[in-house]
Amino acid sequence: MDFASRIVTWQRSHGRHDLPWQASRDPYRIWLSEIMLQQTQVTTVIPYYTRFLDRFPTLASLAAAEQADVMPYWAGLGYYARARNLHRCAQQIVRDWGGAFPPDAGAIATLPGIGRSTAAAIAAFAYGHAVPIMDGNVKRVFTRHFGIAGDPGKREVENRLWALAQAQLGAGAVDMPAYTQGLMDLGATLCTRTRPVCSLCPVAASCVANLEGRQAELPTPKPRRAIPERSTALLILQYQDRLLLEHRPAPGIWGGLWSLPEFDPQATPQAACEARGATPLAVMKLAAFAHTFTHFRLHIQPWAVTLAEPLPDADGLQWADASTAARMALPAPIRKLVDGWHATGALAQV
């Protein structure tokens, strides 16, 4: 039995079959799941996926929405460019493809936010097309099974992996949904980054890493780089039972979301308030914390400021009480600050 057949047989008996997107061959639902699963765990994705589809059950409904309506359903999931691209992509499909998903992986890959592997996954699951995928989990399976050394993020190594992936499809007589899901399941459940369970692996008998005891060295680790450190300060401007929230421009960190007003940490909160035309009654320094993004770590110093009167309404600014804030798209660390303030009212007596 060849590599692909062993993966298919294993997936049918031992793979995952209860994920909410597996019951559909609708490319919209498959696409949504694939985008949400990028850099995000399945257990985190499932409630977001369900909630998103409740609000936007079809591609047409997503395309017709305003981006501001979309972002609250992504808030907390991270990597917010995915949501912006998702919305742009839906609009482009309506405009250029008559509202129907493109018919093959090559065309799908031309859409915003969809790379080669994601396009192939959509085509394999939705249409049964014999096109290989190569996400992070699958790279790990292939580097170990075929003994491919070198950083899999390097072009020459990645090209070799793509060629091997294509070769496993042979003449194309493969159950592509089962094979594609099987590779994903294998990487997620058995061929894990640490402590792989080789004794249960369907391709262990031909796996170079298993036969040579090289599981720990494959895939070749990327050289460790120091994570850049950045700092910022936030104003928690409070008036009665409301906080001032500010809409962040896209692209950029938390682009398209609502956040707390930001200022240079070298400045004083009093100066930051005065620059906005606000006069503080009282100022309190809160506990600083850090939030790690993909490429850097952000150190955040929040300041709670009580105002005698609210700033006037303006584009990109909104005073929000607890119920209003709950409906707005806030980044996860900002959500914790805002919800914590509304829940305790601890700063109301400053």
**C-alpha torsion sign, points 290, 294, 296, 300:** negative
* 293 falls within a domain: yes
Same domain, 79 and 52: yes
CATH (domain of 213): 1.10.1670.10
Output the tens digit of pLDDT for each of the chain's 350 residues. 899 999 999 999 999 999 999 989 999 999 999 999 998 999 999 999 999 999 999 999 999 999 999 999 999 998 999 999 999 999 999 999 999 999 999 999 999 999 999 999 999 999 999 999 999 999 999 999 999 999 998 999 999 999 999 999 986 679 999 999 999 999 999 999 999 999 999 999 999 999 999 999 999 998 888 899 999 999 999 999 999 999 998 888 898 999 999 999 999 999 999 999 998 999 999 999 999 988 899 999 999 999 988 888 788 999 999 899 999 999 999 999 998 887 776 543 33
Same domain, 177 and 253: no
Q: Can you point out the beta strands (E) in the chain?
A: 229-239, 242-247, 258-259, 262-263, 280-285, 289-292, 297-307, 317-320
* 160 falls within a domain: no
Distances 310 to 158, 232, 243 between C-alpha atoms, Å: 55, 23, 9
Same domain, 18 and 111: yes
Same domain, 88 and 200: no
* 22 falls within a domain: yes
- Enter the pTM of the model: 0.86
Place of tokens 């959509």: 122
Same domain, 88 and 204: no
* 56 falls within a domain: yes
Same domain, 215 and 148: yes
* 104 falls within a domain: yes
**Catalytic position from the list 34, 156, 262, 274:** 34
* 203 falls within a domain: yes
Distance CA 142, CA 87 (A): 33
Same domain, 209 and 60: no
Same domain, 233 and 299: yes
Same domain, 210 and 309: no
Same domain, 42 and 178: yes
246 is catalytic: no
CB of 137 closer than 8 Å to CB of 188: yes
Distance CA 192, CA 176 (A): 22
Token pair in block for residue 232: 């910022």
Same domain, 144 and 249: no
CB of 73 closer than 8 Å to CB of 107: no
Distance CA 253, CA 90 (A): 23
> What range defines the domain where residue 53 resides?
3-132+168-188
- The total of structural domains in the chain comes to 3
* 163 falls within a domain: no
Same domain, 9 and 69: yes
CATH (domain of 277): 3.90.79.10
